Amino acid sequence: MVPPSDLPVPPREGLPAIDPGASPGAGLLPERTTASPYVDLDRAAWSKLSESTPLPLTDADVVKLRGLGDPIDLAEVDAIYRPISRLLNLYVTATSGLHEATSTFLRENSTRTPYVIGVAGSVAVGKSTTSRILREMLARWPETPRVELITTDGFLYPNAELARRGLMERKGFPESYDRRALIRFLSRVKAGAPEVRSPVYDHLTYDIVPGAETVVRKPDVLIVEGLNVLQPARPSATDESTVAVSDFFDFSIYVDARTRNIRQWYVDRFLSLRRTAFARPESYFKRYATLTDEEAIEKAKSIWDSINAPNLEENILPTRGRATLVLTKGSDHSVQRARLRKI
C-alpha cells in the first residue's frame, strides 16, 4: 500500500526513505545509516552539475513540449533537464566505447545499436513531458542527432481484446499490455534492425488505431515511455519468458511525487480534458463533457481511486528502486531532488 501522503515515503528496492516535501538543502543529503546504491542531490546541487553545458531550448520550445497540466518552464529545463542531458551524453559516449571494445574483442565490424532510455511513473506525474523534453535536448547533441520516442500505450491490447479478457477496467495494469510484442519490438531495436514498427494508440478514441504504425529507423537514441516499463519479468502459465522490458534499457528514469499530489494533478487534468478533448464527438469519454464541475471532480476521484491508485500502489511505485535516476517532484510539479544510481 502507498503510505499516507503526510508521511515520508518508505524505502523500496534499495531506496532509503525520502520526504518529497522537504525544503531543498545545499547539496548532498546527510549520509544515512542505511547504505544506498544512490547519490542523492537536492535541486540546487543537481542544477550546478552542468553549468558549462549550453541550453539548446527556448521558452517557445518548452511551451510546445509540455503536457496538459504540467507547468514546466525554461527555468525548470535549465535546472533539471540540462544536467540530465549532459549526463546522458556522457553515458551514450561511454557505451559507444564499450561497444567498440566488444566488437574489437569479437573481431567484428558491427555498427552501434540504439541507446535505449526508459521513462516510468504514474499516470499524470509528467513522464510524457519529461520524455519529450529529453528527446529534444538529446537531439541537439552532435553525437545523437537522431532521437525517437515511443510510448507503451501502443502495445496495449485493443479494446475488443481487453473486453474479451475482462480487462477493460484494468487498462494500464501490466496484464493489459501485449508484453511479448513489446519485447519483440525492443529485441529488434537492440539487434540493430533497419526498421522496427510499433502500433499506434489514440488517446481520443481510447483504442489502438487499426493499421497505423510508428516506424523506428535505427535512431541514435530511443526513449520508451510507459507506466510499467521497469517491471521485472513475471512468468505466467501462458508466458514463460524471464526477459523484462527493462533488460533492453541502457538508462532509466522514474518520475516520482507524493501520491496526494499526483491524484490532484489527475483531477485537474480531467477537468481540463472535459472542456476540450472530451467534448469532441469522436471522444471515447464524450459522456463526461456535460458533467458539472462537482460531478467531474467526483468522477475523476472515483476513477483514480478504483484504477490508477491501485495500479500505482501494486505495480508502478514498487519499481522505483530499479531506475537509474529518480526525479522527485514537489506539489508545484518542479523537481526537488534527483537520485542517481551509482555505477
Q: What is the pLDDT of residues 55-74, one digit of tens each?
A: 888 888 888 888 767 789 99
Q: How far is CA 284 from CA 157, 168, 280, 288, in A?
A: 16, 13, 9, 9
Q: Is the pLDDT of residue 10 over 80?
A: no
Residue the block writes with cell 542531490: 41
Instruction: Give the whole-angstrom CA distance, residue 278 versus residue 53.
Output: 41
DSSP-assigned beta bridge partners for residue 120 = 254
Q: How confident is the model over 101-111, as a mean pLDDT?
A: 84
Confidence of residue 53 (pLDDT cuts 50, 70, 90): confident
> So what's the pLDDT on residue 221?
97
Closest CA to 196 of 170, 176, 215: 215
User: What average pLDDT does range 195-204 have in this prediction?
Assistant: 96
**In this predicted structure, what is the pLDDT of residue 120?**
98
**Mean pLDDT in residue range 248-252:** 97
> For domain 38-341, is the CATH number 1.10.1740.10?
no
Q: What is the pLDDT of residue 240?
A: 59
The predicted structure's pLDDT at residue 238: 58
For residue 26, what pLDDT is reported? Answer: 41
- Compute the radius of gyration of the chain from its Cα atoms: 20
**Rounded CA gap, 140 and 118, in Å?**
19
The predicted pLDDT at position 15 comes to 45
**Mean pLDDT lowest among 31-35, 82-86, 156-160, 304-308:** 31-35
Highest mean predicted confidence (pLDDT) among 101-105, 240-244, 338-342? 338-342
Label residue 237 by pLDDT band (50, 70, 90). Answer: low
All three cell numbers of 237: 502459465
Q: What percent of the chain has pLDDT over 70?
A: 88
Annotated binding site: 121-128
Domains in the chain: boundaries: 38-341
**In the prediction, which pLDDT does 242 show?**
82
Bridge-based pairing state of the strands 325-329 and 251-256? parallel
**Does residue 183 carry a pLDDT above 90?**
yes
DSSP letters, 199-263, are: EEEETTTTEEEEEEEEEE---SEEEEE-TTTTPPP---SS------GGGG-SEEEEEE--HHHHH
% of residues, the chain, pLDDT over 90: 73
Backbone phi and psi for residue 182, each to the nearest 5 degrees, phi listed first: -65, -40
pLDDT of residue 177: 97
Give this prediction's pTM. Answer: 0.87
Which residues, at least 6 apart from 20, have a Cβ–Cβ distance to it below 8 Å? Answer: 9, 256, 257, 258, 328, 329, 330, 336, 337
As annotated, the binding site for ATP includes 121-128
Say how many residues make up the chain.
343
Sorted by sequence, the CB contacts under 8 Å of residue 71 that are 6+ apart come out as: 332, 333
- Banded model confidence at residue 21, pLDDT cuts 50, 70, 90: very low
Rounded-to-integer distance, Cα 44 and Cα 24, Å: 7
Name the residue type at position 33: T
Amino acid identity of residue 326, one-letter, is: V
Neighbour tally for 135: CB within 10 Å: 19
- For residue 6, the number of C-alpha atoms closer than 13 Å in the C-beta half-sphere is 0
Question: Measured in whole angstroms, how far is the alpha carbon of residue 287 from the centre of its chain?
Answer: 29
Residues 127, 258 contacting (CB under 8 angstroms)? no
- Integer Cα distance of 326 and 38 in angstroms: 9
d(CA 315, CA 254): 13
Write down the pLDDT at residue 241: 62
Expressed in angstroms, the distance from the first to the final Cα of the chain is 30
